[in-house]
Structure 1
Amino acid sequence: MQIRDLPYTDPGDPDVRSGPRFLIWLGRNQIRGQLKSLSWGLLHQCSIAGLPLVIGFAVQAVVDRSGNRLALSGGLIAVLGVLIAVGDTMLHRTAITNWITAAARVQQLLARKTAELGSALTRQVAAGEVVAVSTGDVEKIGWFVEALSRFAAAAVALVIICVGLVVYLPSLGVLVALAMPVLALGVLPFLPRATRRADFQREKAGKATELASDTVAGLRVLRGIGGEELFLGRYRRASQEVRKAAVRSAQMWSLISAIQVLLPGVLLISLVTYGAALARDGKIDVGQLVTVYSAATLLLFPLRHVEEIAMAYSFSRPSAQRAVRVLSLSRVARPSTVDAAPTGDLYDPATGLMAPEGLFTAVVCGDPDEAGRLADRLGGHAQPAVSQEGAVEEGATDHEVPSVLLGGVPLDELELDAARTAVLVQDKDPVLLSGTLRELLDVPSSGRVTAEDALSAAQCDDVLNALAQASVDSGGDPMDTRITERGRSLSGGQRQRLALARSLVTDPEALVLDEPTSAVDSHTEARVAAGIKALRKNRTTVAFASSPLLLDLADRVALVHRGTVVAVGTHRELLRGEPRYRAVVTRETDDEIPAPAPPGKDEAIHAIDTIEEIEERA
């Protein structure tokens, strides 16, 4: 795989049993790239290892006053220089390719999992942790994959050089060969502590990132209540904890680096002392001493890769573990069995809620949290996220909730794309992505609803005017005006209506709206409700709301009380005959709920049953 070929057509099915297994899976899926990097690394390392032999040969040629051998030595040095340059260049190229392609594979896996889980992801994993995994952790995982092949080349080169020295000059070669394992493994006792400190640093950094993400997301609210300094103080403390943890981690890695300088220094001093004594006694030539000393000096370079791979693994292992935590979540425990999206009534067996095909159904819940959970379930997003081993994640229920049915077919048995096409859920707090308004509305759709019709139904005229005035380089065209991240430059009502327009453009078989008009005034709310009903005529629409203006326009209204549908009818019918419905819609307290009217009072009840009077009572 080359960088120009990214993204992957299929990033694969990762091994998410543990962080190390995930790293092994990544390396195994890049075996060709690893072998290329290993080959170029061996060329580079072995060319460097050949320099001491040629230099020793040249020194001995000078001692023997042999011009031919000196010229040959010069030619060999030039050839080795070319090979070193080519090997180093290609090693760097292939290693960085391994890094980038591994990081891209992990990012694609995370993006696929995020799209699969939808809103269920952030209920199982904090948003800040998701950000940390998809940015910093991906880089660290790529670093380990990249360093692995260079370490393998360095390890092979160490073995070749040590064997060569033993054969070339046993008296000194044996000393070097015996010292190499000590030099390479001398830092192992310190690695567990260094790894723990690195893990602790990553944990603190992840919490700080999560705190920063939450603070930025709620900055407008914080400014409104004057809480900026409070949260900034919390972030300062979290940042200082990260700094202290990083310093402690760096201290341990500095100690490891110092050991890897000290031990080779001791070897070189011992080698020079012993070798000089042998040369003085005439047991070895000066050229041989120079060759062995130069080879031992150059061995320090591949030894550095031992420290690097240890550091890369200690940093990438917790990163891989965090990635595995996200990738091991699954949408449902059952495999999909149906490919095509069905049509028909939308029915929830858990609550008994029925949304007939082609009708505008409003749902009233006294508990807003219950409404949000039911809305998610109608879209097939509220099933507990489970690991691939089948363990239900924290926060999930300990019993299986029956799947919502669309046309009698369980949504859990649909392919994910088919389920998302069939039923679309708009959250209570929808997110607007940055980009132009045209890009915002350029979403997969049936093609039956234009962007202009959707914007008109959502009553976005004032939003279009505001975007046209804010336009700098789009010629006054609001469709080409950029919307800032999460639509922060717009009011809450404007963001809500743009998100509604985006949902209307998709024109799904069934559209579920959770409080679609909660952030607008009553006049706009009435027009938005009428626009939704007109645009979604003969299409299944479910709206969770408690506003009489919207409820009165619905074809049917269902009252959900304590997780069960307890009453179904029109808004006016339920207002007359269902006290619990009247308490939610008109905001009455228990003391204000009137007793059932005696016979003969229907006319009096009907006389006050108007939208205007209901709003006054609310």
Structure 2
Amino acid sequence: MCWGLLHFAGIAGLSVGAGLAVQAVIDRSGGRLAFAGGFIALCGAAISIGDTMLHRTAVTNWITAAARVQQLLARKTAQLGAALTRRVAAGEVVAVSTGDVEKIGWFVEALSRFLAAVIAIVLICIGLVLYLPELGTLVAVGVPVLAVAVLPLLPRAAQRADVQREKAGKATELASDTVAGLRVLRGIGGEELFLGRYRAASQEVRKAAVRSARMWSLISAIQVLLPGIMLISVIWYGARLVLDGRIEVGGLVTVYSAVTLLLFPLRHFEEIAMAYSFSRPSAKRAARVLSLERTAFEDERGGLDDARPTGELYDPATGLRAPSGLLTAVVCGDPDAAGRLAERLGGHAADEEKSASVLLGGVALDDLPLDAARASVLVQDKDPVLLSGTLTELLDIPASGAVDPEKALAAAQCGDVLDALIQASVDGSGDPMRSRITERGRSLSGGQRQRLALARSLVTDPEVLVLDEPTSAVDSHTEARIAQSVKELRAGRTTVVFASSPLLLDHADRVVFIHEGQVSAVGLHRELVRDDPGYRAVVTRETEDEQSETAAEQRQIMTPASARAREEIEESA
């Protein structure tokens, strides 16, 4: 704001210097002309320095504001973890962290220049009133009218800008979802369908942008028309005063120049209105993301030290127990319920969940510091993300050190993945650990990405590892080998696997069947398949007719035995 005041003061001083120079020429005063020339040169230096530093500090404010909002969003994303995408669409998060932060920064830097322009206009109007009351009063009355003339149009312009922002956010979300699922869309031939949807959304954004631009062009036209009318009025009235001998020619030149240069700071009124209208929806979205909180970790310092508990993992809400050191498989009929339960076991409970916290060794995860809880229980969801970089960088993560990357890759059956990385290597080293993985691992198949993510989780070697459908994208032979290898590698550690594949369930130390949010049965896979119809229906994908046939067959098998039992009882009697 201070640099802006210096800049506008230099601009306002030009009008004074021009008036002094003209009057000095009329009066044939060389001394006053030299003084006017020196004063104009001083104003030029003030304009040069003020404009340069104003631009420098304004850009700094813009970048700083945008970067700090991005930092806050990054910290909030890291704090919320998997709970973020359940409450806010991924496209909206992308829009907030890219385009929205720039508009917030724009308003921050425009605000200081606007304040400088307001102060400069007030001082110039006061100076003109004191210098030439006849013309200064006209200017002092006309300038506020110019400043507020467009206020009635701003609500409509802001509304159109909000509509444009909303449609642009939806288009961005649709585009990000389409790109993320491009491989699947190509497989089912749905590219044209989604392309048509994005084309329609893009055209809606274009139409909304045109409607918004029309309103802003009208505002800009008014900002040009009204100052022009005021400038003509000042010239006409000032010329009448000069002809009547009430003011000097130099005074008219001074006022005319001041009014002309006032049009420059008046432009900031239009800019601040545009910046406010465009940044307000952006700020609302950013505030909505930043206001999200985790009930499990409202106080990251918690009531306990950073010690990591060990022992049995217990969920009071469902009754699920995962004994320490065993591989526990969990079967749920609803995949969405399984995903929510997996997140809950890692302390990723949503705000609306009011049930008691999950316990690890009798210690509530909610009472642990965030870092300690995440180090104790690691949750790998069914759609893990692979960041771009080399395989070494992918596996270079905080870990206990007990499991090296080679063992983890072998347990996850990543041999074909390593071969593919060697073939795709560009440095010719033949070392798969130095080969680069593209963003989200798009150069790999779904099964290869899934196994690399599993290897990354195994390298971490947490006290409790929760895996949600870790082998859903691999073939049955590979799945069986992965189940056996993970069980051997995680010996002595607690592992919870959400799955419905018999190959994986058969390797579990114990299987827990959850029905309607509660533990329904516990045992080995083969026992539950034989004795529990609900479990068998989920695992074997039996239809209702098939369940009825199975029950009838069991009754037929049991009937002769029951008849013999009744005969033995009658004979004994």
Q: TM-score, normalised by structure 1?
A: 0.86
Alignment match, 1:22: none
8 A contact 1:465–1:478 mirrored in 2: yes
Counterpart CA distance in 1 for 2:342 and 2:276 is: 43
* 1:208/1:238 contact within 8 Å kept: yes
Query: Which amino acid in structure 2 is aligned with residue 61 of structure 1?
Result: A
1:145 matched to 2:108? The reply is yes
Residue pair 2:330, 2:511 contacting (<8 A) in 1 also: yes
Please tell me whether residue 407 in structure 1 is matched to residue 373 in structure 2.
no
* 1:330 aligns to 2:293 (yes or no): yes
Write the distance in 1 (CA, Å) between the matches of 2:431 and 2:132. Answer: 81
Name 2:496's counterpart in structure 1.
542
Q: Are the structure 2 counterparts of residues 213 and 288 from structure 1 closer, same or farther at C-alpha, using a change threshold of 3 Å?
A: same
**Structure 2 equivalent of residue 374 of structure 1:** 341
Corresponding residue of 2:329: 362
Counterpart for residue 593 of structure 1 = 550
Aligned to 2:565: none
2:427 maps to 1:499: no
Matching residue within 164, 170, 191 for 2:154: 191
Q: 2:392 matched to 1:438?
A: yes
Q: Look up the SS of the partner of 2:444 in the other structure.
A: coil
Aligned counterparts of 2:88 and 2:58: Cα–Cα separation in 1: 32
Identify the residue that residue 206 of structure 1 maps to in structure 2. Answer: 169
Q: Secondary structure of 1:156's match?
A: helix
> Is 1:163 the equivalent of 2:126?
yes
Structure 1 residue matching 2:378: 3-state secondary structure: strand
Matched, 1:230 2:170: no
Query: Partner of 1:512: helix, strand, or coil?
Result: strand
Within 5 Å, which residues of 2 pair with 1:34-53?
38-53=1-16
Q: Secondary structure at the match of 1:283?
A: coil
Measure, in 2, the Cα distance between the counterparts of 1:402 and 1:142. 42
Q: Does residue 1:464 correspond to 2:431, yes or no? A: no
**Does the CA contact (< 8 Å) of 2:174 and 2:198 recur in 1?**
yes
| Shift, 1:352, TM fit | 0.6
- 8 Å Cα contact 1:474/1:481 also seen in 2: no
Q: 1:352 aligns to what?
A: 319
Distance 1:339 1:244, change over 3 A: farther
CA distance in 2, matches of 1:42, 1:415: 49
Aligned residue in 1 for 2:276: 313
Alpha-carbon distance in structure 1 between the residues aligned to 2:560 and 2:35: 121
CA distance in 2: counterparts of 1:523 and 1:592, whole angstroms: 30
- Contact 2:387 2:394 (C-alpha < 8 Å) held by counterparts: yes
More displaced stretch, 274-283 vs 245-254 = 274-283
C-alpha deviations, 1:123-147, integer Å up to 9, x for none?
A: 1111111111111111111100010
The answer on whether the counterparts of 2:295 and 2:349 sit within 8 Å (CA) in structure 1 is: no
Task: Give the distance between the partners of 2:559 and 2:509, measured in 1 at CA.
Answer: 28
Give the number of the structure whose residues are more often helix, by fraction.
2
The one-character-per-residue Cα deviations of 1:333-392 (angstroms, maximum 9, x if unpaired) are: 7544334232221111111110111211111222222211211111111323xxxxxxxx
Aligned residue in 2 for 1:119? 82
CA RMSD, 1 decimal: 1.7
Matched positions, count = 551
1:559 maps to 2:513 = yes
Match of 2:137 in 1: 174
**How far did residue 447 of structure 1 move?**
2.3
Secondary structure of the corresponding residue to residue 550 of structure 2: coil
DSSP-derived class of the 1:119 partner: helix
Q: What letter matches 1:62 in structure 2?
A: V
**2:86 is aligned with 1:129:** no
Q: Which one of the candidate residues 68, 71, 81 is aligned to 1:105? A: 68
Residue in 2 that maps onto 1:251: 214
Q: Measure the CA separation in 1 of the matches of 2:471 and 2:131.
A: 85
Give the superposition deviation at 1:179. Answer: 0.7
Q: Aligned with 1:137: secondary structure?
A: helix
Matching residue within 412, 427, 431 for 1:477:
431
**Once structures 1 and 2 are overlaid, which stretch shifts more, 251-260 or 356-365?**
356-365
1:66 and 2:20 aligned? no
Deviation at 1:559, TM superposition (A): 1.3
1:392 alignment partner in structure 2 = none
Displacement of 1:543 in angstroms is 0.5
C-alpha contact (below 8 Å) 1:383/1:401 kept by paired residues: no
Q: How far apart, CA to CA, are the structure 2 residues paired with 1:252 and 1:575?
A: 68
- 2-side partners of 1:474 and 1:99: how far apart? 44
The answer for the alignment partner of 2:475 in structure 1 is: 521
Structure 2 unaligned residues grouped into runs of 5+: 562-573
Deviation at 1:269, TM superposition (A): 0.2
Q: Does 1:271 align with 2:237?
A: no
Shift of 1:576: 3.5
Checking the alignment, whether the CA contact within 8 Å between 1:474 and 1:480 is kept in structure 2 is no
**Structure 2 residue 309 is the aligned partner of structure 1 residue 342:** yes
Query: Helix, strand or coil: the match of 2:304?
Result: coil
- Give the residue type in structure 2 aligned to 1:138: V
Letter in 2 for 1:356: P
Q: CA deviation at 1:582?
A: 2.9
Partner of 1:570: 524
What secondary structure is seen at the aligned counterpart in 1 of 2:386? coil
- Return the letter of the residue paired with 1:124: R
Deviation at 1:590, TM superposition (A): 1.1
Alignment of structure 1 residues 55-94 onto 2, 5 Å: 55-94=18-57
TM-superposed CA distance for 1:72, in Å, is 2.1
Distance in 1 between the 2:193 and 2:531 partners? 50
**Of 489, 494, 512, the match for 2:466:** 512
Identity of aligned residues (%): 75
SS of equivalent to 2:286 = helix
SS at match of 2:548: coil
Cα deviations by residue, 1:387-428 (Å, 9 ceiling, x for unpaired) = xxxxxxxxx56xx22221111122222222222111111111
The answer as to whether partners of 2:533 and 2:547 remain within 8 angstroms in 1 is no
